[in-house]
Structure 1
Amino acid sequence: MKIISTFVKNDISPNMSKEEKIPFETIQFAGVTFKVINRHQAHEIIGDLTNFQDQKIYNVFEDTWRFPDYEENPIFLLAEDDVEMDSFEMDFSTEEHSDIFILGFIFKGNLKVTKLISSYDTDNSPALIVLGETESVNINLFGSVHYLGGGVKCDALLGEYNHGELFVKGDVTAWLIYSDDMLMHFERFTDVQAIISVNRPDVLICSNVTDADGSILTIENYFPSTHKLSDIAADSFIEFSDYGTAVLDHYHDAFKEGLSILDYDKTEKYAYANFREEFIKMVQVLSELEYVKHIGRISKKVGNNEYSFIPFEYEGKKYSQISEEIGNGFNIKLRALWCHDDEEITLVLEYLYDDGNPKYQWANNETAQGIEMYCVKRAAIEAFEVLTAEPSEDDDDDYDDDDSDDETEYEEYEEYDNSFSLEEYAVQFGNYALPEDLVKLYEFDQQYGSETYSECFGLTITEEKTGIKTWSEKEEFYNSFIEFAGANGSGSSYAYWLIDNDLNNCPIVVFGDEGGIHVVAENIRKLIHILTLDTEISVDFDSAYFYKDDEYYDENENKAEFHEWVKNEFNLDPIESNEETDEIVNQAKEKYKKRLNDFLTKFDIEIGEDEEE
């Protein structure tokens, strides 16, 4: 690599606390000569780039996590003209000049790469910013906020891990868009064959809708998966997790060679060529289930999703509907309907308000082109597989039934008994003695059942600390907490923070499933008092709080028994307002928040804005 080592004049930004030198005018990377610029010059180019809510994406001065200001020789590399490369794998430095730190690569024109565009690391990577069109066989991005402003053409576009995010403006032509826990925002899909998110929806697309006044609004919505991975990827690149989830694997060598991971011979699968015949058979099979004959319908919850088969009549015609509803704040419903009289199939993609009423809707028949209908077809097939699967003791889901006495006659739909002995529960506490208040709560929880007396709360056994270890694998960190209960429906958990040998003197914290570790209560009795509000905790990166909306509140079946028990055992009146819970949480934060923040930062765990106040 040839380095042109002509030094240039320093450029000082008024927003920077110190000067950043530009060590060279130009430098070569991946066979391309780039202009070397500093943070201030980069800001002039990318500082006004916006997302689809017209919010600025980049702040290269304040976002020191993605654009560190503590590294020696931080620089951006700029290509002012169109660029063609064989392969482009971003790195922070080069073998010849390990003393530089590349914050990002900026392309003012088009970027065309023969084989592969790839980030450096899932945790952190230089940012990729392309103002023109981006083209490659494979694109694999993670570890930073990336921006492709002139559209994309590729076979496969992958996003990995929640440290990364991608914004794409313009036309998108791709066979596969695949997200594994990374948000990916798109302006429009021009020709996209398949969209796959490994778990929850992480791909967002802009849609134009008309409001009541006739004005056109651009709305960004989460988009469900359109296929299974096995429908479009070659089998050699698919691996199944312990939970049966298919993920991409063993594909890096193929990417480096510029080879496709897709199997173009699977046309019937990814084009849903036989969907009409398959759907009619699915309706017939579900209609013949003994449970459906007896109850008239069947609905099963798996995690945050609910799958249903519902026969009904509308305007004198007989219909059968297979559907999937994605909850946990996404509020997406996908329905496929068979009209027995007209022999027509209708596919419906809906975005719902919190009360369940439709917000936006796309509907068409099964022959309609477009990925909106693909995602409904996938949902119908997945719902069929869930509803016809043999139940197992691992299932924690419930079948919907208007008559609980009838349901108990069918052994295959019996609820799983999740009871456990006090000795089994105590194992996770090691040498710590269980507080008497927690033992009392255990006895109540076992008698009435988890999640029946306070929304989404239930005692749990968590011995391996796998969730806590995702924050830090340092033993000093994960051995400082004991998880003991589920906190909400999205996977957050309550834990003791072990600052004393007596758990009665240890505060309760919540680990958010999407980020954030926050103090909640001074002790277990204070948490029990909060639980009488009968609403789950809301946790995000910046804060944790309890909020009950009376308009949508649905009382738990054993709430009255829980309130009576709390009064008898602890002489505490039930909490009736959000403000009362705020008072308990704020008391705990005042006592322990700074100490917890200091502890977390010792392990390089980022603190939310609310926690920094």
Structure 2
Amino acid sequence: MIKEEKIPFETMVFSGVTFKVINRHEAHNIIGDLTDFKNQKIYNVFEDTWRFPDYEENPIFLLAEDDVEMDLFEMDFSTEEHPDIFILGFIFKKNLTVAKLISSYDTDNSPALIVLGKTTTVNINLFGSVHYLGGGLQCDTLAGEYNHGELFVKGDLIAWLVYTDDMLFHFERFTDVQAIISSGRPDVLICSNVQDTDGSIITVENYLPSTHKLSDIVEDSFVENSDYGTEILGNNYLEVFKEGLSILDYDKKEKYMYADFRNQFINMVEVLSENEELKENGKIVRHISGTTYLFIPFDYEGKKYSQISEEIGNSFSIRMRALWCHEDEEIMIILEYLDENGDPKYQWMNDENAAGIEFFCVKNAVMKTFEILMAPEAEEEDDEDDETEYAEYDSSFSLEEFAVQFGGYKLPEDLVKLYEFEQEHGVESYSECFGLTITNDKIGIKTWSEEEEFYNSFIEFAGANGSGSSYAYWLIDKDLNNCPIVVFGDEGGVHIVAESTCKLIQLLTLDTEISVDFDSAYFYKDEEYYEESENKEEFQEWVKAEFDLDAIETNEEADEIVDQAQRKYKQKFNDFLVKFGIEISEEDE
């Protein structure tokens, strides 16, 4: 039984509004049964994580029971008048109207915003927690940032721009949305009613790729390029948000409405048709970071067609294509979600004049594909290694490219920090035979079981030793911070090795590769043959500074970390393996 917390006072003023102060038990009664679009509960206020911690003094929720109107709403954990309290979340039982801006506190951590009625504002900028808008949202711009945030919007969404930089957005329906832009992988999910194989109508939640570039709709002064060459919002947009002004350029209507798409597409087909690569190979294709960009002419039922397409792999399986029929001079726009065999599961298809944001994302894909196919410096991944599909210890990939293999899961902050350290110091330079990797397909895991439930229960992210073993998250929770790490041995054996990313990082400070056999996985440093990695000392100092963890120096210390993880997860993991007919060691039975 969880002891009920006392509230320090009955009411509290925040942003000029008087809220009722409630504890997490009272909050649970209000928000504990809120669900996502898969009917899974969103909030557990007793979970004692960074979202709803137990270690802060005077944790409270602020509750508004009636409609609320504010000029500016910038969430914070406390106020100058009450610096000793810790606000876990703001709950609005009815409608919330904010004249200028609704904003979270920090990308790493923020109070949660929960509105059961309708939310109306000019700009809304969220991150740092899981937020819920249950009665719809109307705004000019909705922006989200960083993988510590997630947003669920039920009801109508009316917005000119929905922009996310590594934050998941879930929407029930787009009532009037002009542009969807994800700066990296697809991070926006929308519910759609589709026909099942038996003819019944079912609701599914699918990723929707970007419909535009930022520069197509945002005023130029607010658009910057990231280190990876993608367009991102510049920092000065926040000041404009606070003034309640728009960052959008409504004079760019011809761009964001794709007013001249027909002529542009025909011109693209004509230019690509004269390409020497097409004449030599019959197609022009680029494979970049799990995405395929393609131009191909073909005949179908006696007619000639030309197709420009983008297909996003890495577990997204989304294909967007436009076709030109040379005889009929008709353009067909197609958005498809593919099954594991590459065949369409769901499909949207119409001509280029059709309304619907689903078709905007296809037009955006066509524009991007043309640019990539025409760029002489476009780098194509080597298809000769498609059997393994691993970027073995190649640290040249961007964080966005690394994140794609995680699908809908948010990168743990600790893993992002490790990525940044590796980018600065070099792969395999700080711990023997360790390096972060991109796995474009689950070929290695599929050798254990071809059942989809099995191989989709893991995300590989790093090479574990010099012989081909790999580290992977075992997906037992929606938050990877709560998922243990396993090692897949290259010659047999799959074992739990660490409770978390942080614990794996501590194991790496031993500076020796992991040994994996059928019965066990262990770290053994032989001092007689040990050679120190070039950046071992910098790595150990970094681990101490970032995580307050001492470097481990002995095999016994490493054994204790592995044993601790196995005491917690080994039996559950063995039961999981047996379920799929995978043999486990007799000593584990």
Q: TM-score range by the shorter chain?
A: 0.7 to 0.9
Separation of aligned partners in 2, 1:337 and 1:484? 45
1:126 aligns with one of 99, 111, 122:
111
Superposition map of 1:158-557 within 5 A: 158-249=143-234, 250-391=236-377, 395-397=379-381, 451=385, 454-460=388-394, 470-471=416-417, 481=431, 485=435, 487-489=437-439, 524=466, 527-528=467-468, 530=469, 541=480, 542-544=483-485
Residues 143, 368 of structure 1: CA spacing in aligned structure 2 closer, same or farther, 3 A cutoff? same
Contact 2:493 2:517 in 1 (8 A): no
Name the count of aligned residue pairs: 484
Residue number in structure 2 paired with 1:416? none
Residue 584 in structure 1 maps to residue 516 in structure 2: yes
Residues 471, 214 of structure 1: CA spacing in aligned structure 2 closer, same or farther, 3 A cutoff? same
Residues 545, 64 of structure 1: CA spacing in aligned structure 2 closer, same or farther, 3 A cutoff? closer
Q: Which deviations, in whole Å up to 9, do the C-alpha atoms of 1:455-487 show, x marking residues without a partner?
A: 415243689999988336999999964675453
Deviation of residue 210 (structure 1)?
Answer: 1.6
Which residue identity is paired with 1:311?
P
Deviation of residue 591 (structure 1)?
Answer: 5.7
Structure 2 residue runs of 5 or longer lacking an equivalent are: 403-413, 443-457, 498-514, 525-539, 551-561, 570-589
Contact 1:280 1:338 in 2 (8 A): yes
Range 209-218 or range 184-193, more displaced: 209-218
Range 298-307 or range 356-365, more displaced: 298-307
Which residue identity is paired with 1:397?
E
User: What secondary structure does 1:255 align onto?
Assistant: helix
Deviation of residue 303 (structure 1)?
Answer: 1.4
Q: Which deviations, in whole Å up to 9, do the C-alpha atoms of 1:533-568 show, x marking residues without a partner?
A: xxx9677632556889xxxxxxxxxxxxxxxxxxxx
Which residue identity is paired with 1:584?
V
Contact 1:37 1:76 in 2 (8 A): yes
Residues 463, 379 of structure 1: CA spacing in aligned structure 2 closer, same or farther, 3 A cutoff? closer
Give the greater-gyration-radius structure (CA). Answer: 1
Contact 1:128 1:147 in 2 (8 A): yes
Deviation of residue 24 (structure 1)?
Answer: 1.1
Which residue identity is paired with 2:350?
N
Superposition map of 1:129-168 within 5 A: 129-168=114-153
Residue 89 in structure 1 maps to residue 74 in structure 2: yes
Separation of aligned partners in 1, 2:438 and 2:309? 25
Residues 481, 388 of structure 1: CA spacing in aligned structure 2 closer, same or farther, 3 A cutoff? same
Separation of aligned partners in 1, 2:133 and 2:4? 29
Residues 463, 299 of structure 1: CA spacing in aligned structure 2 closer, same or farther, 3 A cutoff? closer
Q: Which deviations, in whole Å up to 9, do the C-alpha atoms of 1:171-190 show, x marking residues without a partner?
A: 00000000100000000000
Residue number in structure 2 paired with 1:10? none
Residue 100 in structure 1 maps to residue 85 in structure 2: yes
Residue 77 in structure 1 maps to residue 62 in structure 2: yes
Contact 1:298 1:310 in 2 (8 A): yes
Q: Which deviations, in whole Å up to 9, do the C-alpha atoms of 1:548-589 show, x marking residues without a partner?
A: 9xxxxxxxxxxxxxxxxxxxxxxxxx84x7879999377554
- Normalising by structure 2, we get a TM-score of 0.75
Residue number in structure 2 paired with 1:49? 34
Separation of aligned partners in 2, 1:326 and 1:289? 24
User: What secondary structure does 1:188 align onto?
Assistant: strand
- Normalising by structure 1, we get a TM-score of 0.72
Which residue identity is paired with 2:56?
E
Separation of aligned partners in 1, 2:154 and 2:191? 10
Contact 2:459 2:473 in 1 (8 A): no
Which residue identity is paired with 2:347?
Q
Which residue identity is paired with 1:348?
I
Separation of aligned partners in 1, 2:361 and 2:421? 43
Contact 1:232 1:269 in 2 (8 A): yes
Contact 1:461 1:484 in 2 (8 A): no
Which residue identity is paired with 1:354?
E
The percent identity for this pair of structures is 60
Separation of aligned partners in 2, 1:261 and 1:587? 59
Residues 196, 24 of structure 1: CA spacing in aligned structure 2 closer, same or farther, 3 A cutoff? same
Residues 585, 241 of structure 1: CA spacing in aligned structure 2 closer, same or farther, 3 A cutoff? farther
Separation of aligned partners in 1, 2:264 and 2:223? 24
Separation of aligned partners in 2, 1:174 and 1:334? 24
Separation of aligned partners in 1, 2:210 and 2:227? 21
Range 467-476 or range 224-233, more displaced: 467-476
User: What secondary structure does 2:139 align onto?
Assistant: strand
Contact 1:456 1:486 in 2 (8 A): no
Residues 329, 546 of structure 1: CA spacing in aligned structure 2 closer, same or farther, 3 A cutoff? farther
